[in-house]
Structure 1
Amino acid sequence: MAKDTFLNRKATLNSKGKPIELNAQAVMAILNLTPDSFYGESRAAGIEEALRKTETFLNEGAKFIDIGAYSSRPGAADISADEELQRLIPVVEALAKTFPEALLSIDTFRARVAKEAILAGAHLINDIAAGNLDEAMFATVAELQVPYIMMHMKGTPQNMQQNPNYENVALEVFQYFDKKIAALKQLGAKDIIIDPGFGFAKTIEHNYELLQQMQILNSFGLPILAGFSRKSMITKVLHNKAADALNGTTVLNTIALLKGAAILRVHDVKEALECIKLVNMATA
């Protein structure tokens, strides 16, 4: 059950000398500074809207705010690092000033963007490519000494859904993280979170096979982040739209918690926290 998976998991992270406790499951709220992210309600067009959304997320109980300025939905347009930074840095500075206790995560695969955002006041790096799209990322993470979320993905957001292929998706994801964790630790990185990458370079069948076997990732003793929120692995099965996929999201969040997820990355904070509370009551 969920409670058993936490016994040997790292429970305290450190970001620039600031301890981050993960002795209970937590919620990461999604804040997109992009005009084309797949779920419109996650987008913030400018600083004021970002501040309003963040205040709501924090009031609802979010532990982390995950800020993205580069859309990673399948087939999304590529943008330059300069454009990503122009969208991102003013918002990070404003959020860090307005909500000094908030834990800001930066959703980027670029080392330069990650470093500038951390210097602007962010606390974590969330890399969908686990260093594969920027060879400087691992060294940057080790230098900055901030928690690093690394996700499993093949290819790029532009081509990742073009015939993804696995013989055993869960085993291959496990082997991927085994190598990545070793490389990071050799460089001196200490605080690592792993994300199986649901919806990234995987068919619907791959996603559900991976979820069925997600508990194998607990053997790393690291926090696991699960991100299903309103994704096509829900809508294509239920034949609905992202706007109608909250119930499906909650079902998959529940399963992930029972298999050891420590962080739920979501658009809907209140509902995710209710899910965590009820799972904990049911498995106490």
Structure 2
Amino acid sequence: MEFSVTNSNQSRFFSINCNGRLIDLSKPKLMGILNLTPDSFSDGGKFNNEKSALQHAEKLLKNGATIIDVGAQSTRPNAEFLNADEEIRRIGNVISLIKKEFPESLISLDTFYSDVVKFGYDEGIDIVNDISAGQFDSELLDTVAKTGLPYILMHINPTYGSMHDKIKFDDIIISINRFFSEKVNLLRQKGIKDIILDAGFGFGKTVEDQYQMINEFDYIGFGKLPILAGISKKSFIYKPLGKQPNEVEKETLDLHHKLLEKEANIIRLHNPESLIN
């Protein structure tokens, strides 16, 4: 099943080069989440072996995902901190198995370690999804540049220890755009050509900040680069309602539709079928 949306606002042409495949992002794509972790806040431990991971990847693709985002480290507040070797151990053969079973799939690797990027590149990844903006590993950006892969640049605080600290922003949109302007210039200098922006929902922002980000999403990045939205099961949606992550499907769907109207190019989510049905 392929996800498609007809939206008159989606007028800008964006594409990324994934290992020689030109992917058109002017038509929004769904990125399905595959957590290879025992401690993720919503699905920890469900897919942390090869068989269940492969089955879930198949489900995500059948339900409309074009991209599978593979991550081995939870970045929720108070999560266990893993080194690169442990991430690699957890990933194991999952990436190569998915590529073998579903060769048309695109795989993004959710990591902030250069060594994990090198491993993932050898296994066949198509995109690097780095929450750290290259700030947690000084060699990561140079490594990404050498691979030639597209890079997802996320707005975040400067250190692992501070990534969830709430910062008082005069205006969250202005702050995000200033951050992106500086970081994109750095990425260009490094030789990274294909860049996707991620506003960093859930990382160091207040509830009010995050709803402003949704309402003014089309101002983030000034429309110069494709942009990803990742709000699936984030606490700013369910906590104010006194609910649990799996109890806000309707609220999340409404916000996803709003983000698509505001010209999101990629929606990162746990259940792509929610946008298909």
Same fold flag (TM > 0.5): yes
TM superposition shift of 1:30? 0.4
Q: How does 1:130-169 map to 2 (within 5 A)?
A: 130-156=133-159, 158-169=161-172
Q: 1:243 aligns with which of 241, 246, 264?
A: 246
Q: Residue 41 of structure 2 aligns with which residue?
A: 38
- Is residue 198 from structure 1 mapped to residue 205 from structure 2 by the alignment? no
Contact 2:13–2:24 (CA<8 Å) still a contact in 1? Answer: no
Name whichever of 26-35 and 142-151 sits farther off: 142-151
Contact 1:68–1:107 (CA<8 Å) still a contact in 2? Answer: yes
- Is residue 183 from structure 1 mapped to residue 161 from structure 2 by the alignment? no
Q: Assess, with a 3 A threshold, how the Cα gap between structure 1 residues 24 and 33 changes in structure 2: closer, same or farther.
A: same
Distance of 1:212 and 1:105 partners within structure 2:
27
Q: How does 1:1-284 map to 2 (within 5 A)?
A: 3=7, 5-10=9-14, 12-40=15-43, 43-156=46-159, 158-274=161-277
TM superposition shift of 1:130? 1.0
TM superposition shift of 1:223? 1.1
Count the aligned residue pairs: 272
Give the unaligned 5+ runs of structure 2. 1-5
Contact 1:147–1:191 (CA<8 Å) still a contact in 2? Answer: yes
TM superposition shift of 1:114? 1.2
TM-score, normalised to structure 1, is 0.90
- Paired AA for residue 8 in structure 1: R
TM superposition shift of 1:92? 0.9
Distance of 1:235 and 1:155 partners within structure 2:
26
Contact 2:35–2:43 (CA<8 Å) still a contact in 1? Answer: no
Distance of 2:275 and 2:241 partners within structure 1:
20
Distance of 2:8 and 2:174 partners within structure 1:
22
CA deviation string 1:219-239 (max 9, x = no partner)? 242111001111101111221
Which has the larger helix fraction?
Answer: 1
Alignment RMSD (CA, Å)? 1.7
> Could you list the runs of 4 or more consecutive aligned residues of structure 1 that deviate by over 3 angstroms after TM superposition?
2-6, 155-159
- Sequence identity, in percent? 37
CA deviation string 1:70-128 (max 9, x = no partner)? 10111211011100000113211211111111101100111111121011111110001
Distance of 2:247 and 2:186 partners within structure 1:
40
Q: Residue 279 of structure 1 aligns with which residue?
A: none
Q: Secondary structure at the match of 2:120?
A: helix
Give the unaligned 5+ runs of structure 1. 275-284
